[in-house]
Amino acid sequence: MTAPKSIALAAAMLSIAGAAWADWPTDRPIEMIVAYAPGGGTDIMLRTLAPFVEAELGTQIPVMNRPGASGEIAYTALSQAKPDGYTISSLNTPGFLTMQVDRELRFDPAAICPLARIVEDPGTFIVQAGSDYQTLADLVAYAKENPGAVSVGTTGIGTDEHLAMLQLEQAAGIDLTAVPFAGANEAKTALLGGHVNVIGLNVGEYTSSDQNAVRALAQFSEQRSTLAPDLPTAKEQGFDVLMSSERGLAARCDVPEVDRARLAQAIETALAKPEFQEKAKQQQLPLSYVSGADWTAQMPARLERFREILALVEGGQ
């Protein structure tokens, strides 16, 4: 084959590939995996957002819950999907980062690329409304007298609730017992059933809960969230505990860049819609958009901080 013919063929192939990418997405659905059980903050966020991204991309986006292992099951499913842009997943820190520290994974974290951070929600500890713990100091005082007796429900090892618990143990010199659940709803059910003493939630999850059934003890932020302006921070109560949950979306890094860019743009545009922002307000979602590139750039520093927190307690348990 002569050089001109080779060049012409290569150009034709690039043109066909470009046309195929330009046609993405077709009417084929884009599966959105949620790494936690139905009813929690991540699930509510993505079910609220999905119809608006559907409108931007012109295709259906069914939401599929694949909870377990602090998100590892979902990330493994994403990594095993075809790199064609038709599978995306929730991405949650600290879990996505801490699992890289405490165990061997079934997926390669470097192969997963953030598309956007959507929410950052401070952590909180909540108890039954009738609990004897009126403040964080009450919980600490009891735990000091009864090492290991206070059980704390979390959504898994290395999640924000677990890291907040480790920080409180270190700050107060106490020993708590972590009890993992598949999602926030399961943890709330266990709390209301008296199976655990305390659970870790996020402020948005707490403020959307039945306030007659539960009570928050503190929020783990530098300043009080606008969602709960009357709830004191742990620092205000004398305990150095800072932790939040970041929730967003990710795709495989080997999805064609043009398709990942279109996904990211559709998410950003959907988040800016006044209709979505109103629904997010109704759902108590503390929106805090960060682009995929900027979120990726922030993760090494976050990973180092989480590594230090896990090292506070031997074995990170």
Transcribe 163-231 into DSSP letters.
Answer: HHHHHHHHHHT---EEEE-SSHHHHHHHHHTTS-SEEEEEHHHHHTS-TTTEEEEEE-SSS--TT-TTS
Which pLDDT does position 21 carry in this prediction?
Answer: 43
Over residues 197-224, the pLDDT tens digits come to: 999 999 988 998 888 999 999 999 999 9
The two tokens of residue 5 are: 């013919």
pLDDT over 50 (residue 2): no
pTM metric for this prediction: 0.82
Q: How confident is the model at residue 239 (pLDDT cuts 50, 70, 90)?
A: very high
Q: Spell out the residues 6+ positions from residue 22 whose beta carbon is closer than 8 angstroms to its own.
A: 258
Asked if residue 39 has pLDDT above 60, the reply is yes
Q: CB pairs under 8 A, 24+ apart, for 36-39?
A: 36/65, 36/67, 36/71, 36/90, 36/92, 36/155, 36/182, 36/183, 36/184, 37/65, 37/67, 37/182, 37/183, 37/184, 37/185, 37/186, 38/65, 38/183, 38/185, 39/183, 39/184, 39/185
pLDDT at 314: 54
pLDDT at 311: 85
Whether 190 contacts 101, CB under 8 Å? no
Mean per-residue pLDDT over the chain, rounded: 90
| Residue 15 reports pLDDT greater than 80 | no
3-state secondary structure of 45: helix
Reported as a single tens digit per residue, the pLDDT across 171-194 is 999 999 999 998 888 999 999 999
**Percentage of residues in the chain with pLDDT exceeding 90?**
79
Highest-scoring range by mean pLDDT, 36-40, 68-72, 231-235: 231-235
Q: What is the mean pLDDT of residues 283-295?
A: 95
Share of the chain above pLDDT 70, in %: 91
